Structures are given as C-alpha cells and as structure tokens.
Amino acid sequence: MQIILTHEESETYFHNALCNGLNYIAAYNLQISFKRADYVKARANYENTHPNEQACYEDILMQILKDGNMLKLIDHEDAENTQVINLADVHKRVAETPVRHLMDMINENDDATTADVIIQSVFFEEVIYG
C-alpha cells in the first residue's frame, strides 16, 4: 500500500514527529545538527513570516529545511552513521514510513513511538532503533 502525501502534509507530519520524537532520538545517542548560520537565518525568516507566534526549536528546524538547507543526524557512537536530509527528503520519505505508524499520524492517533519511526524513516530510510 502506498500513501501519497502533499508536500504540506509531509512537512506537517515531520514537524509533529520532531515535536514528539526528539527525546527518543536523544536516547539512541543521536543528535540533530545544523550550521549555526543556517539556524540564525531560519529563526529570523520564521519570525518575519510568523510575527505573532513564539517559535519553538522544531519550527526552526523545519524553517532550516524550507530555506534550502540541511539537517544532519549525528550518531555519537558510530561517526560513520551520520545522515543528512533536505526538504525533498522529507517530501519523499515521510510517505515511506511504515503504514501503521503513518496512519496513526494521519489519524491523529500518534505518540512518541510514531514520531520516532517517522524521524528514523526520514533520516535512515528505514527503522533501525527500537
């Protein structure tokens, strides 16, 4: 079964996954990384386009991608396991998340496990941990 998502849906589901799943990623000794200049620019861009909102960390991560930059997932136990994504990867790979978990996100029946699986699907193109 293949689920086709719009770019907006993919971005929304990935954003939700970041909001709910970063603690799982940290528990695996993984860390999302980015260039400091990309973060500063993304924060300014987000604040300019959302003047009445308080930006959270995950909002800025998504803005980094929307600005055409990349996020890196660093494995502190295996330096060769570093993964890099861009917005096109999010658009493609969220839909490739195992169907059960993707449907939980779509149906707003998601939890931290759902988020973890989506994040892993986007960064690794498979579920490695958990």
Helices (H) and strands (E) in the chain, counts: 6, 3
Mean pLDDT of 120-130: 94
- Whole-angstrom CA distances from 50 to 6, 40, 47, 53, 54 are 22, 15, 5, 6, 8
3-class state of residue 72 by DSSP: strand
Span 32-85, pLDDT tens digits: 999 999 999 999 999 999 999 999 999 999 999 999 999 999 999 998 889 999
Q: Structural domain boundaries of the chain?
A: 7-124
2 pLDDT band, cuts 50/70/90, is: confident
Contact in structure between 115 and 104 (CB atoms under 8 Å): no
Q: Which two tokens stand for residue 24?
A: 């799982």
* Per-residue confidence (pLDDT) for residue 93, from 0 to 100: 98
Span 14-40, pLDDT tens digits: 999 999 999 989 999 999 999 999 999
Burial (Cβ within 10 Å: 0-12, 13-18, ≥19) of residue 40: exposed
Q: Which two tokens stand for residue 49?
A: 């386009």
* Per-residue confidence (pLDDT) for residue 130, from 0 to 100: 78
